[in-house]
Amino acid sequence: MSKGGFYGTGTRTDAERNAPARPRTVRAAIVGGTGYGGMELLRLLLEHPQVKVTAITSRTDTGSVGDVHPHLRGFTELAFTSARATDLARENDVLFFATPHGVAAKEAPVVLDAAPELRVVDLSGDFRLATGEAYLEHYGKPHPHPERLADAVYGAPECGWRAQIAAARLVANPGCHAYATLLAVWPLAQAGLVEGRVAVASVTGSSGSGASPSAGTHHPERFANFRAYKPLQHQHVPEIERALAGEARIDFVPHSAPLARGIHVTAFVPVPRGREAEAGGALRSAYEAEPFVRLVPGTPEVRAVAGSNFADLGVAAGDGLVVVTLALDNLVKGMAGTAVQNMNLMLGLPETAGLRRPGLGL
């Protein structure tokens, strides 16, 4: 046997030396795959050119993934497993936690310690806030590892965290309402245009409340109905204000709409009189090179972004007021799509890999 190894002499030809490198295959596992977030995440990862999904777990379901998520029949042979996250950590490059609040808070620090090269993206709210006290106040339970909150990087690439995400081992994916609001307000705050409190009305579809039915998400309660909920008390508000780093305060009122997926935000931003025209320039400057944020004429529509990782944004200016409207799919750009975008950054893959597809249009 030669020193070059079993398959040859170890001397490469010119063609071999000049051939493009084979794309790296990333091994990924999803912890919690029966909810809408895990479902959408799997759909996106199955079409990612550089990802192999090795496992998807469930604490309630067994058997074929296609039996639980029938739209994925024929696209995967995966079956749900009850494997522990710590076991999956040693066999994968990245773990996604698509679990209810509280699960990743307990398990993510353990898997990161067990597998030093592992990356984790948490889709829940467990690592979005700065302190255990804030987590207890807004999520109603003590954080089991408050000392690890500082390890997490907020996963909003378009809003100043791209470099930190690329270097992170733990990324806290934004909440859907929070991300939509942040994308609407962040460029104006960065430009020093916000003068006073920002009022935000955010309208969401029923999938934002998760797969388990409740009085607020049951179809007869939402069909042909529209209502506000948790006015000025939503758990995403401290997350938004933390991300804005004190540059703006938010008065936030979410609304329940009779649609399955999508978020539409209207942000009323007070600005100094005479500077209203600067708002459009600040938004264009912030997003003109971003692959997934589109400035549109008029106002954006949810159906244009449904099923896609795009956020569409419109702006209007009046006397001392700028109104920013923004639409995104709460399950994709507001959740699973951004999780894949963050994974791409963390693992040195093209940021748009597996994500550049148009919306459904209806």
Residue ranges of domains in the chain, CATH in brackets: 26-151 (3.40.50.720), 176-330 (3.30.360.10)
Task: Write the CB contacts of 60 (distance below 8 Å, at least 6 apart in sequence).
Answer: 34
* Nearest CA-CA partner of 296 in 184, 161, 176, 220: 184
Q: Which residue type, as a one-letter code, is found at position 356? A: R
pLDDT at 152: 97
- pLDDT value of residue 209: 55
Distance CA 204, CA 264 (A): 7
* Predicted pLDDT at 226: 86
Contacts of 120 (CB under 8 A, 6+ apart): 94, 95, 96, 97, 104, 108, 111, 112, 169, 170, 171
Q: Which of 159, 176, 185, 286 is catalytic?
A: 176
Q: What local confidence, expressed as pLDDT, does residue 208 receive?
A: 56
What span, in angstroms and rounded, lies between the C-alpha atoms of 259 and 246?
A: 33
Return phi, psi of residue 207, to 5°. Answer: -65, -20
- State the pLDDT at residue 201: 97
Quick one: pLDDT at residue 4? 32
Output the pLDDT for position 16: 40
**Residue at token pair 């994916």:** 173
pLDDT at 113: 96
Output the pLDDT for position 1.
31
**Residue 218 confidence (pLDDT):** 66
| pTM exceeding 0.85 | yes
Catalytic annotation on 159? no
The pLDDT tens digits for 115-150 are 999 999 999 999 999 999 999 999 999 999 999 999
| pLDDT score recorded for residue 17 | 45
Q: Average pLDDT for consecutive 10-residue bins of the chain (362 residues)?
A: 30 45 84 90 96 93 86 92 93 96 96 96 96 93 96 97 98 96 97 96 76 64 82 90 92 90 97 95 97 97 96 96 97 97 97 96 84
What is the per-residue pLDDT for 87? 92
